[in-house]
């Protein structure tokens, strides 16, 4: 089976790497906080001490990092070590501009697929993510992405990254609106259970379920980063206001986005 290097073992990366191990792929993992890699070592993964060491001799590299800055840092280390014929599957939420910059920096003979995902930790563990793939997707890369969930082929390079920014900001905006609607219901003396039930039965039902979720782990800090990707690309006054609110909530930065439902003004 294809030898894979998986870089980035956060709340999403770890269960995704586990799925590759369970499928029998020879897997090398790396994470900037080395302790996060140790459980995967016990499960059969080889643990690299650096990004360069992780990718030496592998045909497929997967990155699942926190954002554009982390991707830049890893790219600087990876580029000299990538062999001809390597496929780099970039799964972080970084936006299409970062994907274009990465593509332009790649050595000749290295192919890039952008494939961010929709879904949270539970979906990553069960292999039911929605994978948004941009670029030329074929062979082992296509097979590996199917380990993570359903694959939507979005179009040319960068199209998966672009669609992810669109979809995740719809989620963020929806959660922010539902959280404020629940706060309004409280202020007006509306029965909380009745307000939630009525909201869930309406057009915001999906956003209500996400706002009330206790199983996800998509932090307020990451959501603020993702709103920044959107507001940097278009004039979006509503999302800009949401982003300002998220960035102001240092008390919630490491909590899941659903913590907005309990936040006080």
Q: What is the structure's pLDDT at 1?
A: 77
Query: Which listed CATH number (1.10.3720.10, 1.10.1040.10, 3.10.20.440, 3.30.70.340) goes with 163-262?
Result: 1.10.1040.10
Q: What is the structure's pLDDT at 30?
A: 98
At residue 193, φ and ψ (nearest 5 deg) are -65, -40
State which fold the 4-157 domain adopts: Rossmann fold (3.40.50)
3-state secondary structure the chain: CCCEEEECCCCCHHHHHHHHHHCCCCEEEECCCHHHHHHHHHCCCEECCCHHHHHCCCCEEEECCCCHHHHHHHHHHHHHHCCCCCEEEECCCCHHHHHHHHHHHCCCCCEEEECCEECCHHHHHHCCEEEEEECCCCHHHHHHHHCCEEEEEEECCCHHHHHHHHHHHHHHHHHHHHHHHHHHHHHCCCCHHHHHHHHHCCCCHHHHHHHCCCCCCCEHHHHHHHHHHHHCCCCCHHHHHHHHHHHHCHHHCCCEHHHHHHCCC
Residues in the chain with pLDDT values less than 50:
none
Q: At what angle do helices 237-248 and 220-231 cross, to 10 degrees?
A: 150
Look up tokens 């501009």; give the residue: 97
Q: At what angle do helices 159-187 and 220-231 cross, to 10 degrees?
A: 120
Any catalytic annotation for residue 164?
yes
Nearest to 148 by CA among 166, 128, 132, 134: 128
Q: What is the structure's pLDDT at 265?
A: 61
Q: What is the structure's pLDDT at 64?
A: 98
Q: What angle do CA 38, 22, 147 make, to 5 degrees?
A: 115
At residue 28, φ and ψ (nearest 5 deg) are -110, 135
Domain ranges of the chain: 4-157, 163-262
**Rounded CA separation 161/147 (Å):** 19
> Which listed residue (19, 25, 111, 164) is catalytic?
164
């Amino acid at each position: 089976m294809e030898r894979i290097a998986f870089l980035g073992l956060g709340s999403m990366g770890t269960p995704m790497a586990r799925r590759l191990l369970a499928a029998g792929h020879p897997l090398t993992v790396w994470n900037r906080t080395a302790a996060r890699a140790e459980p995967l070592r016990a499960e059969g993964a080889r643990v690299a001490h650096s990004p360069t060491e992780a990718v030496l001799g592998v045909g497929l590299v997967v990155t699942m990092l926190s954002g554009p800055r982390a991707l830049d840092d890893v790219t600087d280390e990876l580029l000299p070590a990538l062999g001809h014929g390597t496929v780099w599957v970039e799964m972080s939420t970084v936006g299409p501009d970062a994907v274009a910059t990465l593509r332009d920096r790649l050595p000749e003979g290295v192919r890039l697929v952008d494939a961010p995902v929709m879904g949270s930790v539970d979906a990553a563990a069960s292999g039911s993510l929605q994978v948004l793939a941009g670029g030329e997707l074929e062979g082992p890369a296509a097979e590996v992405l199917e380990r993570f969930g359903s694959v939507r082929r979005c179009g040319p390079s960068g199209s998966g990254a672009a669609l992810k920014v669109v979809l995740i900001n719809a989620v963020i905006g929806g959660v922010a609106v539902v959280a404020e609607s629940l706060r309004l219901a409280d202020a007006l003396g509306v029965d909380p259970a009745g307000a939630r039930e009525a909201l869930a039965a309406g057009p915001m039902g999906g956003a209500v379920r996400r706002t009330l979720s206790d199983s996800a782990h998509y932090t307020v800090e990451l959501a603020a980063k993702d709103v920044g990707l959107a507001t940097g690309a278009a004039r979006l006054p509503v999302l800009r206001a949401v982003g300002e609110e998220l960035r102001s909530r240092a008390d919630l930065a490491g909590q899941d986005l659903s913590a907005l439902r309990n936040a006080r003004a």
